Structure 1
Amino acid sequence: MVKNLVNSIEKLVFEKSTKKFGVSRILKENDDKPVFIKDVNGYPVIGNLCTREVIAESLGIEKEDLMKHMVESMNNEKNGELIVDESLEKLYIDDDLEKIHDYPIPTYYGKDAGPYLTSGVVIVKDKDEGVNASIHRILVRPDGNLAIRMVEQRHLHYIYNKNIGNGEVDCAIVIGVHPAVLLAASTSGDVSFNELKYASALINKPLNLVKCKTVDLEVPEAEFIIEGKITAEMVDEGPFVDITGTYDVIRKQPLIKVTALRRKEDAIFHALLPGGSEHKLLMGIPQEPRMYKGIRNTVPSLKNVALTQGGCCWLNAVVSIDKKTEGDGKNAILAALAAHPSLKHVTVVDDDINIYDANDVEYAVATRVQSDKDIIIIPGAKGSSLDPSADHKNKLTAKMGIDATMSLLKGKEEFIRAEVPKDDE
């Protein structure tokens, strides 16, 4: 599955690199361009994989249709199909547990606590809520076990706390999966939301699962499968780099005891650069359908939504509307800020502006904005913990909306851009 995608996409190819800082140097120097490294400690590595273009290609759609496709797939999540394919088991090799230190798991930055799994999708199961799939940073400890950063508001933390009274929680970490699985695992729904069924809806066909050997779980087909038990033991995790490219603090987090290592022959490892474009996209893209639904309730003529890479795919957004009345732009600003509470800045543009082109958006701001009328500033709002400039003591920030739409009072004629005719007639 991953091999087919790697073979089909346009990518930069490198012959060899090192696990410690070598992989991250290549990924950072070529950010936003898929990179394939043939040999990292004897394994091939793919990185910068999930661009908007690659995700759309893997789903068989155009980039501009991605967000609407996600909305439709989320609405169809319950109809996703999961199939345990026993024939897949013959593709896997069992490795000794100490082999984890030979895997091409990078150390990305100078102050990192050690090698980190960053693209691993963590699978757990709850008897009431069903299967949960989510992405978390995971430190590989010198003893070969793992420390997982478990954010308090996430569903994994809820399932862990609910079940840890039994002593341990079965888990599996899959690395090298279809982009639909990464996208689904990055998506927030309610606790009953089945991310794997959502992945099936995204690809519009059944999702093949592999049965684990040492834990009671079925997981998506992947290049690497790490099985383990999340324990009640708390160990140091961090420091590690977050989405803004700045360091997060050291915390006490749960220890995972590794119980099995499985991989495909010639398995391709997926290295996801912390703070890189791929990290930002996988955090941001799943928020766009939620924003789309929220804004559309207020402005029905909404066309599209994008969280921008320059804004870490988290703090800044561009919203496209087919403006019908003079207040639509400002209503869209308020709806966007409500739909994504971590949002800090939002720019609303007309539907003739390409929201994926920063120059085109800046053109709209330059030619369609009067600052005293079209900019809204909201001081003292609750903001994102990922914003380094926020008042973290009081959890406050200032938010801004820019209405960069054409004024209907002036008339659109003054704003229409000249076009060269397609023929000479």
Structure 2
Amino acid sequence: MAEKIKDLRSALDMLGNMPGQLIETDVEVDPRAELSGVYRYVGAGGTVMRPTKEGPAMIFNHVKGHPGARVAIGVLASRKRVAALLDTKPQELGKLLWKSVDHPVPPVLAEGPALCQEVVHLAEDPGFDLAELVPAPTNTPDDAGPYITLGMCYASHPDTKESDVTIHRLCIQGKDELSIFFTPGARHIGAMAERAEELGQRLPISISIGVDPAIEIGSCFEPPTTPMGYDELAVAGALRGEPVELCPCVTVDEKAIANAEYVIEGEVVPNVRVREDQNSNTGYAMPEFPGYTGPASGECRLIKVTAVTHRKHPIMQTCIGPSEEHVSMAGIPTEASIYGMVEKAMPGRLKNVYCTSAGGGKYMAVLQFEKKAASDEGRQRQAALLAFSAFSELKHIFLVDEDVDCFDMNDVLWAMNTRFQGDRDIITIPGVRCHPLDPSNSPSYSSSILDQGIACKTIFDCTVPFSQKERFVRARFLDVDAQRWTGADFYG
């Protein structure tokens, strides 16, 4: 590894040394919709409405209303950047994460003072105001309020004391109040909060913002790959080859990530629900990964904030929900999970997996499958069924042969145009649970849909029948090293 990545700052230093991967600006920006509006053009990509593109990460050095604070956005909004930060190749990311899950390195307590606690603000202090302390952006004029989009939420189960880290939607609601949205049944911290509520207890929680990219990627694993009791910080430890360092919180009985830029400490209050847009009344929450602004929830949990700690001259880190950054964080762990599951079931057949930008990293996957014998015919569809059974949010799967680049959607669509017939190669599975944020997964869209979030999952089998592989050989070009003639590396 050329540079040792140990926190957000070292990651930004590395990107600053990579041509075209980081922009800094001293022009003042308003965090209320303007900051995200700028980055929409610079580098958001993903499912953001066009015009947008995949571009560099960006640091805003002057944020209106927040003297001394900076905001970084788009750090992971490029597969190339993620690969560089994790010291691998873009096409190897899923496999790297899969190996890291199987060889976890658990977190440890840091020795000495924690960087994230260089400055401490207690909620009981006069003038304490979360919105002034944390420069959380409002992504669009329709948002419910300022959102913390990259907060690493860390909590422990009231019974087992096993800990977990996840990213949740967090909206600033008051001087010492945050709302947190738990997707029903989808995240472990949600289950912890439910159990604490059953016991009539508050759930201590820390929210670490601005951390090592390995932590952000690792925190996005889901069951069955990382079941209850598996602390995803151990994935980050494996990716880095050394454990993530934690520190005790100042005001609650929980730990936080020791080198985070900001930490918000607090407790999830039992038997209290808040309306996400109670301050704005827009009816909306924030832009979500499918590319639409999601509806405000009336069933958010309330976090009573007890303290904010941060490093000197802190850097707030944020992302745009539908951007390529979400594709990286949600899609790469899903690729790892699918690859590992299919590899165990049919070793050596699945060559790679790509969870595409068009699906926000969740809705669509391309599986590159090699049929090595006549008996492998049909197993490619079995691989797709395995992926569907484990990851309910997947809606569409494209199956391609080993000679098709699964990371190049033009190549995938070429396979669809030359190796696919709609009347024989589409497999539909109606009436299956998918994702509630897909607006087409609604009874109002189709009478075949029984409930919000029910979908028709579809396999597009663009693989050549094994018996006909000799008819579908791509034009064979001479394999040469073009760098000899051009001086440029074209091979990634």
TM, length-normalised to structure 2: 0.81
Specify the code of the residue in structure 2 equivalent to 1:21: A
Match of 2:49 in 1: none
User: What's the RMSD between the two structures over aligned residues?
Assistant: 2.2
* 1:304, distance to aligned residue in structure 2 (A): 1.0
Matches within 5 A, 1:6-405: 6-9=12-15, 10-15=21-26, 16-29=28-41, 30-31=43-44, 32-33=54-55, 34-40=57-63, 41-42=66-67, 43-50=69-76, 51-77=78-104, 79-89=105-115, 92-95=118-121, 97=123, 98-102=128-132, 103-126=134-157, 127-153=159-185, 154-164=187-197, 165-188=199-222, 189-220=226-257, 221-232=259-270, 233-238=272-277, 239-241=284-286, 242-246=288-292, 247-300=294-347, 301-324=349-372, 325-392=376-443, 393-394=450-451, 395-405=453-463
The 1:208–1:398 alpha-carbon spacing in structure 2 relative to 1, beyond 3 Å, is same
Q: Secondary structure in 1 aligned to 2:467?
A: coil
Measure, in 1, the Cα distance between the counterparts of 2:34 and 2:365.
33
Provide structure 1 residue ranges, at least 5 long, that are not aligned to the other structure.
none
- Would you say 1:417 and 2:467 are equivalent positions? no
Q: Secondary structure in 2 aligned to 1:141?
A: strand
Q: Report Cα offsets for 1:280-305 as digits up to 9, x if no partner.
A: 33223222222223333444311111
The size of the alignment, in residue pairs, is 423
Specify the code of the residue in structure 1 equivalent to 2:290: T
Measure, in 2, the Cα distance between the counterparts of 1:423 and 1:20.
50
Specify the code of the residue in structure 2 equivalent to 1:93: V
Measure, in 1, the Cα distance between the counterparts of 2:189 and 2:73.
26
Provide structure 2 residue ranges, at least 5 long, that are not aligned to the other structure.
1-6, 16-20, 45-53, 278-283, 444-449, 483-492
Compare the two structures and name the one with the higher strand fraction: 1
Shifted more, 363-372 versus 290-299: the winner is: 290-299
* 1:91, distance to aligned residue in structure 2 (A): 6.2
TM, length-normalised to structure 1: 0.93
Specify the code of the residue in structure 1 equivalent to 2:273: M
Q: Secondary structure in 1 aligned to 2:236?
A: helix
Measure, in 2, the Cα distance between the counterparts of 1:415 and 1:373.
21
Q: Secondary structure in 2 aligned to 1:132?
A: strand
Measure, in 2, the Cα distance between the counterparts of 1:21 and 1:52.
25
What percent of counterpart residues are identical?
Answer: 26
Q: Secondary structure in 2 aligned to 1:409?
A: helix
Q: Kindly indicate whether the alpha-carbon contact (under 8 Å) linking 1:124 and 1:132 is maintained by their aligned counterparts in 2.
A: yes
The 1:74–1:423 alpha-carbon spacing in structure 2 relative to 1, beyond 3 Å, is closer
Q: Report Cα offsets for 1:251-301 as digits up to 9, x if no partner.
A: 132221111111111211111112222123322322222222333344431
* 1:89, distance to aligned residue in structure 2 (A): 4.5
